[in-house]
Amino acid sequence: MKNLLISSDIYLSEFLKIFAKKKNLNLEFTDNFNFNPVDFSLLIFDTCNHEYALNFNQKIIDFPDIINSIFIIDDFSDLELIQNKTLFEKDEKLLPKIIEIIELKSRQEYKLNFHTENQIIYIADDSKVIRNSVKNILEKEKIIVETFENGNYLLQKLKNNTLPDLILLDNEMPEKDGIETLTEIKNNVIFSEIPIIFLSGITDKSKIVKALELGAADYITKPFDNNELIARINIHLKINWMKNELIKNNDKIKNQYEEINQQSTKLQKTNQLIETRNKKITASIQYAKNIQAALLPELNELSNFCKDYFIYFKPKDIVSGDFYWYKSINDKFIISLADCTGHGVPGAFMTSLGITLLNEIIANSDSQNIHSDIILNSLRDSIKNSFNKINNNIIKDGMDIALCIFDFKKKQFEFSGANSSVFLITNDISLNQKNNYENIHIHQNQDLDSNLLHIKGDKMPIGYFLKEKPFSKCVINFESGNYLYFATDGFPDQMRKVTFRRFTSKRLIYFFIENYKFSFEKQFQLLEECIFDWKENMDQTDDITIIGLKL
């Protein structure tokens, strides 16, 4: 019979599946009540909640015969529904107890599976009285008995491939005696495993020894006691049954072992194939990383326009979905930081497209009339046109971007953003008090005598957007020695392992305010330490890029 666990606890079910497989236990699993209780010898029920217990109680109420086979795992205090059941609490001892119960039940069933009913015994004896007497005794035990008056008749029956579970063989018989018959049986591969009990008179000690040497399982001396006869026969029938069961199980294990070996060989070949493919894919992605690095501008170009700078560039995977881009046009300097849809390889393809399109837009623009909002509008149109070529389907991939155009003579920069911001740290906010741009938020730090202007972009991406409108721009004044920061959302969105909380933009803003006076080399180090401490052992959530400029 089978055993059944009724539980909606995934952890409990999966754990027991592993144990049941290892110990070869016949255990099935369900999280509903679509089963027939009489199909199972043991029901293990997990009282997950009150409603679940009610359903279970209703399920078994019509099956009083199996109630004692049901074990309840107590997971709540409302137990008045469950009466006369074995209860276990969910603690560290629960799983071993369940395994012990299943194993015990399995052992009990294994013992009960053996019975003498329908077992076949052959009796070969020249005495009709003994044959009939033994037959009557054994048939009362519901054993099937066939009798033979000599060894030749017995051997003829065996050669017809009708094999018994046990043979009772008399020593003294005409034509062919017990020793001769026993020898022929044991020399035949087909018959040799049939257990034989030798029947002998008290004076036949030498022949008893000879019979045991030839392979007889036991002997009974005549005249024999009926109870002794039944006991010895039962013992050898059971031994024979257990041996046959062992052979069956060994064959089953052997087949399973061969199947596992085949699966293991197949799995090894599959793993080797996967490993080879992974190496090729990784090599391709590494090459893509080199291509992406070649598309990004040289860092030392920034030194022509800034007193100091740093770029904290930390892809989540080998290649990044973030990119930075800058270019000088006449007496102006354009710089941007973008976060493309996705990360890894898909994001990297988008960065290549973004960099290429920005270069094309600048190359085809009037250098005397170039503005941040115009660049973003053109970039959006180009992205949409590029994706529109793909089966005329609307693809919503794109990017968020912050872009600034510096005029160092006027000490101004234009800013436009698509779901992105920049952060300016200045001591004098009066320079921008007349600015009508609505998306400037001021964060003051009186202790450090500094202010951070959080300059937000438009709330729409570069790509398809339902409420699309032209991008706006704002003109920001700055002083020599001010600090400007760009950041993608990778740092603020990084999750913490313990609390599963984001780092947030607010924390990043305070980081800029508290640490801007350090050298950029020190700030870079502090960023690395900050993100490491925050995420602990958790994987990086997204690509991270932060740019710091000292104007």
Where helices occur in 485-519 by DSSP H, the ranges are 505-515
The average pLDDT across 72-101 equals 58
Asked whether residue 77 carries a pLDDT value surpassing 50, the answer given is no
Q: Summarize pLDDT for 403-414 with one digit per residue, the tens.
A: 999 999 999 999
Asked whether residue 352 carries a pLDDT value surpassing 60, the answer given is yes
pLDDT of residue 57: 64
Q: Are 354 and 318 in contact (CB under 8 A)?
A: no
**Whose CA is closest to 81, among 115, 116, 55, 100?**
55
pLDDT of residue 85: 54
* CATH architecture observed for domain 120-243: 3-Layer(aba) Sandwich (3.40)
Asked whether residue 242 carries a pLDDT value surpassing 70, the answer given is yes
**N-terminal to C-terminal alpha carbon distance within the chain:** 81
Which of the given ranges, 133-142, 177-186, 209-218, 542-551, has the highest pLDDT on average?
Answer: 542-551
Cα–Cα distance, 231 to 225 (Å, whole number): 10
CATH topology agreement for domains 2-113 and 296-550: no
Q: Summarize pLDDT for 170-214 with one digit per residue, the tens.
A: 988 888 888 999 999 888 877 888 899 988 875 667 888 888 888
Cα–Cα distance, 304 to 308 (Å, whole number): 10
Cα–Cα distance, 322 to 343 (Å, whole number): 8
Question: What confidence tier does 469 reach under pLDDT thresholds 50, 70, 90?
Answer: very high
Q: Which residue did the predictor score with more confidence, 22 or 233? A: 233
**Whose CA is closest to 484, among 327, 307, 358?**
307
How many beta carbons lie within 10 A of that of residue 58, not counting itself? Answer: 11
pLDDT of residue 117: 62
Question: What confidence tier does 1 reach under pLDDT thresholds 50, 70, 90?
Answer: low
pLDDT of residue 69: 54
Question: What confidence tier does 535 reach under pLDDT thresholds 50, 70, 90?
Answer: confident
Asked whether residue 461 carries a pLDDT value surpassing 80, the answer given is yes
Question: What confidence tier does 361 reach under pLDDT thresholds 50, 70, 90?
Answer: very high
- Give the percent of the chain with pLDDT over 70: 81
Which residue's structure tokens are 């602990």? 536
Q: Which two tokens stand for residue 483?
A: 């600090």
Least reliable range by pLDDT among 122-136, 270-284, 377-391, 437-451: 437-451
pLDDT of residue 261: 85
Least reliable range by pLDDT among 102-116, 225-239, 251-265, 448-462: 102-116
pLDDT of residue 73: 60
The average pLDDT across 255-276 equals 86
Q: How many H helices and E strands in the chain? A: 12, 21
pLDDT of residue 8: 67
Q: Summarize pLDDT for 510-534 with one digit per residue, the tens.
A: 999 999 999 999 999 999 999 999 9
Asked whether residue 344 carries a pLDDT value surpassing 90, the answer given is no
Cα–Cα distance, 37 to 59 (Å, whole number): 8
- Give the percent of the chain with pLDDT over 90: 32
Top-level CATH class of 296-550? alpha beta
Cα–Cα distance, 85 to 67 (Å, whole number): 8
pLDDT of residue 114: 45
Q: Summarize pLDDT for 111-131 with one digit per residue, the tens.
A: 444 455 678 899 999 989 888
Asked whether residue 420 carries a pLDDT value surpassing 80, the answer given is yes
Cα–Cα distance, 519 to 525 (Å, whole number): 10
Which residues neighbour 402 within 8 Å (Cβ) at sequence distance 6 or greater?
A: 336, 337, 338, 415, 417, 418, 420, 421, 422, 457, 486
Which DSSP helix (H) or strand (E) runs through 167?
Answer: strand 166-170
Q: Which residue did the predictor score with more confidence, 19 or 230? A: 230
Asked whether residue 379 carries a pLDDT value surpassing 80, the answer given is yes
Q: Are 70 and 60 in contact (CB under 8 A)?
A: yes
Q: Are 53 and 81 in contact (CB under 8 A)?
A: yes
Residue extents of the structural domains in the chain: 2-113, 120-243, 296-550
Distances (CA, A) of 469 to 291, 405, 550: 34, 21, 33
Which DSSP helix (H) or strand (E) runs through 332?
Answer: strand 332-340
Question: What confidence tier does 416 reach under pLDDT thresholds 50, 70, 90?
Answer: very high
Question: What confidence tier does 67 reach under pLDDT thresholds 50, 70, 90?
Answer: very low
Mapped onto helix, strand or coil, the DSSP state of residue 106 is: helix
Amino acid, res. 34: N
Q: Are 474 and 435 in contact (CB under 8 A)?
A: yes
Calculate ∠ Cα 187-191-192, nearest 5°: 55
Torsion of CA 107, 110, 116, 117, to 10 degrees: 130
Asked whether residue 422 carries a pLDDT value surpassing 60, the answer given is yes
**Whose CA is closest to 431, among 473, 479, 474, 472?**
479
Asked whether residue 70 carries a pLDDT value surpassing 60, the answer given is no
Question: What confidence tier does 93 reach under pLDDT thresholds 50, 70, 90?
Answer: low
Q: What is the mean pLDDT of the chain?
A: 82
Asked whether residue 133 carries a pLDDT value surpassing 80, the answer given is yes
CATH code linked to domain 2-113: 3.40.50.2300
Asked whether residue 497 carries a pLDDT value surpassing 50, the answer given is yes
**Whose CA is closest to 106, among 36, 176, 1?**
1
pLDDT of residue 412: 93
Cα–Cα distance, 102 to 3 (Å, whole number): 8
Question: What confidence tier does 79 reach under pLDDT thresholds 50, 70, 90?
Answer: very low
Q: Is 463 exposed, middle or buried (0-12, 13-18, 19+ CB in 10 A)?
A: buried
